Amino acid sequence: MNEIINEAVFAPLANVAEPKWWTGTPAIDPARFVIDGHEYRVAGRPLTPSDELSASMRQTFEDVGLVHVINTGLDDLESMRLIATQVPINQRKYEGGANPRKTLQANVFEVGAPLEAWLHYHHEMAYIGSSTKMIGFLAHKLPSKGGATFVSDNVQATTDLLATPFGQKLKQRGLCYHRNLTDRNAFTDKLDIGVYNHWQQSMMTEDPDEAIAEARRRGLDAQWGEGGLLKTRYTISAFEYFPQLDRNLLYSSMADDSMWFDTWPLVQHLPIDQRPLKLTFGDGSEMTRDEKQEFLDVYDRYGIPLDWEVGDIALICNYRFAHGRPAVELKEGEHRELGVLIGDAFDRLETYPDKW
């Protein structure tokens, strides 16, 4: 690579909206969702699957929608995956997703985001017609300080937001997700300045015709733009019906807006209208700055930290919780690696008029 890189490509824009993540008090008592692996380990050995552990994990997930297994004594992804799948997760491929995830091992993916960037609260794969019911995390490598993941109680957030004029506006107008996916071939021997994800990786094909077909199969309005950009648009409700609670829940966040890149290296310098993602109301109208802030704040009010130790396993219902994390700073020689499990797919139902 012989390019000279202007320092401006690393410079953030001013006046970014930074998440607060939580109030300092978890929105749900951790005693409701934390399972201590010590109670299920035999003679101090690392945790292994058992009927008792499976029953506890399944009941906790059923009741809360969140399971955090601690004190497992595990340090390899496969052993952690076997514990995670004590709750049936029906693992799926990561197809059509926005994040540039790579495979760590069979059916276990990396987080797919730079540690320098904070990741706003979000529901996994809410921006396509085939979403996922749950997501799992396996704590494989961790720094000495920081690196927590946060979840937000979406049931409380939904009730809160619907009580506001902005929440009612979301209910009435819905949302449109705008995505611009770059062509990997245009960046051969070049630094990926302005790149979030290439369409080849998102759609898992090198064939342009197959990429368009895959995008449309996932309910996206897709077309080619200048410079080989795959431009997709997806208009849908900001909410999703959740059968278990028999009610419509919030199923969207500002993570799918341009502000997702406020701290994203090589992208954060871009003007708002040139970033790879954008979120508008379903009729194409723009959200105000205050509305975007309100969308951020409602998740922060119901945040809960998951403070990781190596070997920890968390399973998160994608309806009942959003998830995200602050930026992570590593010391020399440190790593942070969470294995990601993507759960069973479902086709978006949107909402029912009598389930609010």
Report H helices in 186-262: 199-203, 208-217
Cβ atoms of 141 and 310 within 8 Å: the answer is yes
Total-model pTM: 0.88
Q: How many domains does the chain have?
A: 1
In a domain, 356, yes or no: no
Helix, strand, coil percentages (3-state) for the chain, rounded to 5, are 25, 25, 50
* Of 339, 352, 354, the residue nearest 89 (C-alpha): 339
In a domain, 20, yes or no: no
Along the 356 residues of the chain, how does pLDDT read in single tens digits? 444 445 544 455 556 788 999 999 999 999 999 999 999 999 989 999 999 999 999 999 999 999 999 999 999 999 999 999 999 886 545 454 555 545 544 444 455 678 888 999 999 989 888 899 999 999 999 998 888 999 999 999 999 999 999 999 999 999 999 999 999 998 887 777 777 889 998 898 999 999 999 999 888 899 999 889 999 999 999 999 999 999 999 999 999 999 998 988 888 888 888 889 999 999 999 999 999 999 999 999 999 999 999 999 999 999 999 999 999 889 999 989 999 998 999 999 999 999 99
In a domain, 3, yes or no: no
In a domain, 166, yes or no: yes
User: For position 193, what pLDDT does the model report?
Assistant: 79
User: For position 14, what pLDDT does the model report?
Assistant: 55
Alpha carbons 266 and 330: distance in angstroms, whole number: 19
User: For position 91, what pLDDT does the model report?
Assistant: 56
Burial of 304 (C-beta count, 10 Å sphere; 0-12/13-18/19+): buried
User: For position 15, what pLDDT does the model report?
Assistant: 66
Alpha carbons 40 and 55: distance in angstroms, whole number: 11
**Helix axis angle, 154-162 to 289-300, nearest 10°:** 140
Report pLDDT digits (tens) over 194-247: 778 899 988 989 999 999 999 998 888 999 998 899 999 999 999 999 999 999
Cβ atoms of 312 and 70 within 8 Å: the answer is yes
In a domain, 297, yes or no: yes
Cβ atoms of 302 and 121 within 8 Å: the answer is no
In a domain, 142, yes or no: yes
* Of 54, 42, 301, 37, the residue nearest 163 (C-alpha): 301
List the CATH number of the domain containing 60. Answer: 3.60.130.10
**Residues present in the chain in total:** 356
- Rounded to a whole number of angstroms, the distance between the first and last alpha carbons of the chain is 55
* Of 192, 198, 259, the residue nearest 12 (C-alpha): 259
User: For position 4, what pLDDT does the model report?
Assistant: 44
In a domain, 4, yes or no: no
The residue segments making up the domain with residue 236 are 26-346
In a domain, 12, yes or no: no
**What does the block give as tokens for 158?**
């939904």
User: For position 69, what pLDDT does the model report?
Assistant: 98
Q: Which residues pair with 151 in a beta bridge?
A: 304, 323
User: For position 103, what pLDDT does the model report?
Assistant: 53
